[in-house]
Structure 1
Amino acid sequence: MSDKALLGAADIAEILGVSKSKAYTIIREGNQELKSMHKLVISGKLPVEYFNDICYSSKSNRDEEGS
């Protein structure tokens, strides 16, 4: 996985231990957020860096707690 730039539903489902359907929901929601930030979106894929940020970043967690 470390050499991939984009993750598909199968990758996300395996990493998170969720169904492919849930993985597609995560991708769809992530792509909507990326579009709102005027970023390039590839249907059915999420950038690894963005995925790691939304799933594992402690900065994101702190921002939510402060809100």
Structure 2
Amino acid sequence: QVDRDSRVFVHNFIMDVIKCSNVMAVDELSERVQRHYQHFMKYMDTSPHFANTESETKELLIDFVEKHAMTYLHD
């Protein structure tokens, strides 16, 4: 379930950024990206799917999500 939740988050995050990229200023888009990360971190802290996941693993996961999303968006 952790894998699925992470993939769904990344997909939704990327689609949202692409959708907003033509109508938002860079600063607004940057704030939106940060809110997505904060939302995912909060989700990991409150979801039972991530209950047994260590903090270090959660940090590695958010780093991976960020790297994956930014790589996709910059291509």
Higher relative contact order (CA 8 A, sep 6+): 2
The structure that is strand-richer by fraction is 1
Structure 1 length normalisation: TM-score?
0.40
The structure that is helix-richer by fraction is 2
